[in-house]
Every structure is written in structure tokens, then in C-alpha cells.
Chain A
Amino acid sequence: MDAHSLSLSLEKKVDSKAVAKKVPELKLGPGGGFLQAKVGKLLVIVFSNGRVRITLPGEELENLQKEVAANAIGLGKLLEAIRTGAGSSVDVGKALASGGHDLVEYNEIKDIPYNELRPTFKDNVSAEVLNAVLLGANQILPGFQSERFLAQAGELIGRQAVRDSKPADAKALQNLIAKVVEERALGKMKFEKPEAGVDYLIVVDECPSAGAPVYGKALCTITRGIIRGAFSAFRRAENTAVHEVRCWGLGDADCAFEVRMLSV
């Protein structure tokens, strides 16, 4: 399993609106499904089911742990304020010191929680329906087959979009992919500067996996398929590799995809 964050449980549901009033540092996160606050470079996210996630955006566990140590006092104060505001009796210092995680086994996904702050995505896609589709695939198809199914769904969408719109160049393709993803309530996409050896870095906020527990796996398989399908159709070549390198399911606070045109 892979995880890019630390997390702890307040062991009770959180009334997000009430806590936000008591802890002024907490603001509504992108998409409105959770509360978040910054401590130094750290991002602290509070979910209404009582989970608290601490992440260092764009970084992995080792650097996160260093940053937590460097901000121990400020972080401790914020967590204590959250605990009090939520009416929890958990020892947050102890939970954090144990370097804990509330990792959930991917094969035992029963629910990807959504909450009262965001019952739909972009006001029109029912989170419950999306939840059921994603979970239904996982429950019916064994092992990794559900990911294959979801990747295929995305591929079909991405390829059809290119066939319909016929983007003239790479820039038009990027705009098309972003539009396709946003119109289908799968997130807000932007293309950022990639590292050497990577052709594109695509970052997505407000994706359906926002708020998901840390499963140790990337979850945005449909979006990954859309990106790959669009690039493959545009280039008329199958040697396009797309990998989700950041995801809420991995403990990040956004989702990011690396795209590479593989050499032979």
C-alpha cells in the first residue's frame, strides 16, 4: 500500500458548520466537501465523518513527516482546537505521535463517503449514483478487473471527444480534455510544468475521489482513461502511458496524472 499523508480519527461525526465557527482557521475546501486549514506548508483536512488528514501537497510521506516535526507546536494547537470544537475525547497528540493512518483495505471498500456539505458534484451528478457505479464495479469484477472496466469507460469518452471535436494541435487537445472532464463533473483540470522525462503533468481538483479514505491506491481510473483515450486518439498511437501519481485515495489533497509518450 502507498500513502502520502498521516491521518487520525476523532471517533465521531463532525458537524462541519459548527466546527468551522469555533475554529476560524478552518475554511471550506475546494468543491465544498470538507474543511481545511494550513499550518506552515502542511494542509490539515477535516471530514464530516471525523477523519482528519495531514498532508504536504505534492510531497510524499518522508518529507511530510519532517514537516510535521518542524511544525509540531502549531499543528498540535490546531488539532486540539478541532478536537474540542468537534466534542471528541480522542488524544490527538498520541494519535499523531504514533504516525497513524486509518488506511482502509481497497478490496473491502464498502463506501466512498460523501457528506452533507457536498451531496452532489457540481449540483447535478449525484454522489450516491457515482458511489454506486464505482463500488458496483469493484464488487462484481474480481481483483483488478474493476479498474480495467473503469479505464475502458474513460477511454471511450476520451476517444469520442477527440473524434467529435478534432482538436487541431496539442494546445487544443489540452483544452478539450479539461473541458470534457469538467463538463462531466469529474473535476477542474490544469496542465502544469512536468519534470524531465514526463510529457505532461495534469492536476485535477474537485474530483469525485475528493474526501475518499486512504486506500493506498489511486482511484480516478475513469479520468485516467479519458486522458489516455484522448491522447491516443489524437496521436493515433497506443504508446501513451498515463499514471495517476497523486490521488485522494493515496492520501493527497488533489489528483495528478503524468503522461508519457513511450519510446520503443
Chain B
Amino acid sequence: MAIERVRTGVPGLDDMLSGGIPKKHHTVIVGGPGTGKTTFALQYLYKGVKESGEHGVFISLEETPDKLVENVKAAFPNWKDFDEMLARKEILIEKRQPLAAWKTGEKYAPGFEHFLDMIQSLVTIDGYRRVVVDSITVLKLYFNTASEFRRNLFQLLELMGSLDATLIFTAEAKSAEREKLEFALEHYVADGVIVLYNLPREEKLVRALQVFKMRGTQHSTKMVPLQFTPDGIVVYPEEKVY
């Protein structure tokens, strides 16, 4: 049976992914500072509305919606209909706390339950089909132990697996360079891992992308050039990174 796929909205990338990300799979976009993770995720939502008619929600754990919108409009000036999409709530950008603390005895214990409530409602009640969480690295900071984070991450991913939506989450890498890339739990548990680089070449940095993993998909693992254009991010799967 053919796997239903969701187009990423990044020209060139869907060719590398045999048509797109498998529906309801969760993919992590990993990259160092300035590699374009957040903008990639916003393009996933923007093109989702424009090309697939699918509404999307961006849940930011750190940056404010105003800042995100300002940055993406500066990066992609040809997205003239972006504001309208926001006004019509075809794209929803929200900044949220992932945890609420509940009193247990004299202490406050953090609870992840409401984050799951919120995502569940956004998909089932409000009908958003594309979900972005930016970033899983910030989410990790809210938990006291690695095992607590792991348990809650699995709950989130299990919930997303049962909802009619496709999740992308971003994750910070310590470095933008390939040689210094390290993997963490979120990379192992995700169905897909797409890495963004800023590679030093002579006196400048060259952007690149590589698909490390995409379950259920025959995908290219080649490192390919990536460019920011006024229309959005474009990937060149036939080119080499120089």
C-alpha cells in the first residue's frame, strides 16, 4: 500500500524524500545556530496552506510570535500573503509554556498534561494538520531528569502518531559543522532527521542540507546545497556542496 505523504514545501527536498514526509510521522530539523531551522519550519506551514490547503500551528517555546513573523518576512519578502494567512488563522503562531506546575504538598511539580491537551485540541477541534514545536531543545530544559524528558517526549510522539497531523520539531545542534554533529535522544526516536549546516568554505559559510533518516522512505542521503531566496528556502538535490 502506498504511503501517504506530506509535502515539505521546500523545492528539491520532496524529490529527495520520494515525494515528502510520510503522513503522521514526526521529523526533527537539526542544526546549529543560524542554519535556518525555524525558517524551514515556517515554510513547512506557509507552503502547507498555499500548496496543500492544510492549516498549520507553530508552537514556540521561546521566541515571540511577533519576532518570528518579523524575521520570516524579512527573509522571504515575496511571502506577501503571509499576513493574511495569519489573520485567517490558517497559520497560528503561539508562544506557550510546555509545563504548568501543580501543587503537591508544599512543592510544585511540573505537569506536561496541558501541553498534550492543547496540541490535541488544536488538531482535533481546530483542524490544524501541520504542527511545529520549536524547539525540542528548550522543551528538554523544563524537565529535571533525562528519564522524565524521555517519558514525556514519548507521550507527545505517541499522541501525535494517533492524531491526523504531521509534526516537525526543531532541535539545536551544538555546532553548524558536520564534523561536530552529535546526536541526542530526540534524533533517535524521531521518524525522520534532517540536518541543516553552515559549512565554512574559505572566508564564508555555505548552507547545506542532508537527510539522515526518514523511516518508510527511500531517500537521498547526499549533502546538498540549500539557499535562501525571496520565495523561500530551496534545496538543489542535483548539485554538490563546494
Q: Measuring CB to CB, which residues of chain A are less than 8 angstroms from any residue of chain B?
A: 2, 60, 62, 143-145, 148, 151-152, 155-156, 159, 195, 228-229, 232, 238-243, 245, 258, 260, 262-264
Contacts and interface: CB of A to CB of B under 8 A. Distances in A.
B125 A155 contact: yes
Given A195-B103, A243-B100, A148 B120 contact: yes
Interface string B63-91: 01000000000000000000000000000
A148 B162 contact: yes
A67 B104 CA distance: 19
B102 interface: yes
Nearest to A159: B125
A238 B103 contact: no
B124 A152 contact: yes
Nearest to B100: A241
| Nearest 10 CB-CB pairings of A with B | A241-B114, A241-B100, A264-B95, A238-B118, A243-B102, A262-B97, A60-B105, A238-B121, A262-B100, A144-B155
A151 B96 contact: no
B114 A242 contact: yes
Contacts of B97: 239, 262-264
B121 A232 contact: yes
24 contacts: A2-B104, A143-B155, A145-B158, A148-B162, A151-B117, A151-B120, A152-B120, A156-B125, A159-B125, A229-B121, A238-B118, A238-B121, A239-B118, A241-B111, A241-B113, A242-B114, A243-B102, A258-B102, A260-B100, A262-B97, A262-B100, A263-B97, A264-B94, A264-B97
A258 B104 CA distance: 12
Size bracket, chain B contacts:
20 to 34
A58 to B, nearest CB: 12
Contact of A155 (B103, B105, B121): B121
A221 to B, nearest CB: 10
Contacts of A60: 104-105
B158 A239 contact: no
A240 B115 CA distance: 10
Nearest to A237: B94
Interface string B197-211: 000000000000000
B72 to A, nearest CB: 19
Interface of B: 64, 94-97, 100, 102-105, 111, 113-114, 116-118, 120-122, 124-125, 155, 158-159, 162
Nearest to B162: A145
A155 B64 CA distance: 28
Nearest to A156: B125
Contacts of B158: 143-145
Contacts of A240: 114
B96 A243 contact: no
Contacts of A148: 116, 120, 159, 162
Contacts of A159: 125
B94 A238 contact: yes
Contacts of B103: 195, 245, 258
A156 B102 CA distance: 24
A76 to B, nearest CB: 27
A229 B124 CA distance: 12
A112 B105 CA distance: 27
B60 to A, nearest CB: 9
Nearest to B154: A143
B231 to A, nearest CB: 31
A2 B107 CA distance: 14
A91 B100 CA distance: 43
Of A143, A159, A241, most B-chain CB atoms within 10 Å: A241
Contact of B113 (A2, A156, A243, A262): A243
Nearest to A245: B102
Contacts of A263: 97
B219 to A, nearest CB: 29
B121 to A, nearest CB: 6
A8 to B, nearest CB: 23
A152 B97 CA distance: 21
